[in-house]
Amino acid sequence: MYVEYVRICTNKVSIIIRHKQLERYMINKIEELLAEIEAFTPQNSADVEAFRIKILGKKGALGALMEEFKSVPAAEKRELGQRLNHLKNVATERINTLKEEIGNAAAMNAAKIDDMTRPGSTESVGSRHPISIVKQEIESIFSRLGYTVADGPEIEDDWHVFSALNFPPEHPARDMQDTFFIESNPDVVLRTHTSSIQVRTMERQKPPIRVICPGRVFRNEAISYRAHCIFHQIEGLYIDRNVSFADMKQSLLYFAKELFGEQAQIRMRPSYFPFTEPSAEVDVSCSICGGKGCGVCKGTGWLEIMGCGMVDPNVLKYNNIDPNEFSGFAFGMGIERIAMLKYGVGDLRLYFENDVRFLNQFESAL
């Protein structure tokens, strides 16, 4: 009986000792692992992954400890459980941080220039459209003479395109420009010239007026190398007291010299426009042959560049400006035509095709 008792006691003691040993072992193991985690310095992401498997993997160190944890008596579970949780958190956090650091370092390495002598790769740069280049150049020349830029709508009414510019109804001058009408309403048109912006400017502003009006215009014309149903114009208008024909001539000579070079000359030929009186066509000396005569100027030595004239007193009256007090001049030119002369472009349609081989040839300082 006593022997039996002693045996049971001894058993109990040995069980208690075994439990104590297990706890000690586990705490030691946890401390060891924490130190190992802290000291771990991987070379690459594969190292980190191997380490993760070793500690947190299914058959890893933490899993083994969890297995042992099952045989820990309930009274001890609390403290050991906390230690195990701590180990798990520290391991997970450290592994995540290492993964991120190694990922960033790899990205930086990839971006590093390994060969400083290697030629750089060039980006292809677009160029401005020749119509934009010429438009800006014309605007810039007139801005130096004190002109500002004005704008207006492309869809207009009869008043702004014709009537206020002294085109009487049924007057044959309306046939000078083949008009697109909108929805068979003869009062709504696509503007045939930028002169309509003159009218809109006079409505808004009292003299002195000095504006330049660039814009797209529309005419019902068959498309060919020298005509298009859509093109661009620039209109100019100058109204003040005592504005004379000589002022106009000098301004346009300055313009021609700025655009085509100091050697450029102009001449004026009498012409007719309903909105100007007197009216003229302006020619510039041919910049290709210097005035001697060539294929471009058809042997004349001159190239037509614009229409101009003194603003008709009727136009001033229609726009509530007193013609006895004020006078002015106006001019209008096609941007495509100026660009053709400036760059030697032989076919108007090229401007609208947007072939990069054509467009890439134009460079602008503006």
Residues that bind ligand DAH (CB under 6 A): 193, 195, 235, 273, 276, 307-309, 330-332
3-state helix, strand and coil shares in percent for the chain, rounded to the nearest 5: 45, 20, 35
CA pair distance 322, 60, nearest whole angstrom: 100
SS3 at position 242 = coil
For residue 191, the minimal CB distance to ligand DAH (Å) is 10
Instruction: Give residue number: closest CB to ligand DAH.
Output: 332
Of the two residues 61 and 311, which places its CB atom closer to ligand DAH in the complex? 311
Least gap, CB of 292 to ligand DAH (angstroms) = 28
Q: Nearest approach, Cβ of 226 to ligand DAH (angstroms)?
A: 15
Residues 6+ apart with CB under 8 A from 351: 129, 130, 131, 228, 336, 339, 345
Contact 264, 285 (CB under 8 A): yes
Tell me how crowded residue 165 is: count the other CB atoms within 10 A of its CB: 25
Cα separation, 58 vs 307, in Å, equals 90
The nearest distance, CB 290 to ligand DAH, in angstroms, is 27
98 versus 248: smaller Cβ distance to ligand DAH: 248
CB 297 within 8 A of CB 346: no
Nearer to ligand DAH (CB atom), residue 83 or residue 215: 215
Q: Which is nearer to ligand DAH, 193 or 228 (CB)?
A: 193
Distance in Å, CB of 281 to ligand DAH, minimum: 8
Q: Cβ of 145: how many Cβ atoms within 10 Å?
A: 15
Residue 279 or 285 with smaller CB distance to ligand DAH: 279
Q: Where does residue 248 rank: exposed (0-12), middle (13-18), buried (19+ CB within 10 A)?
A: buried
CB of 276 to ligand DAH, least distance (A): 4
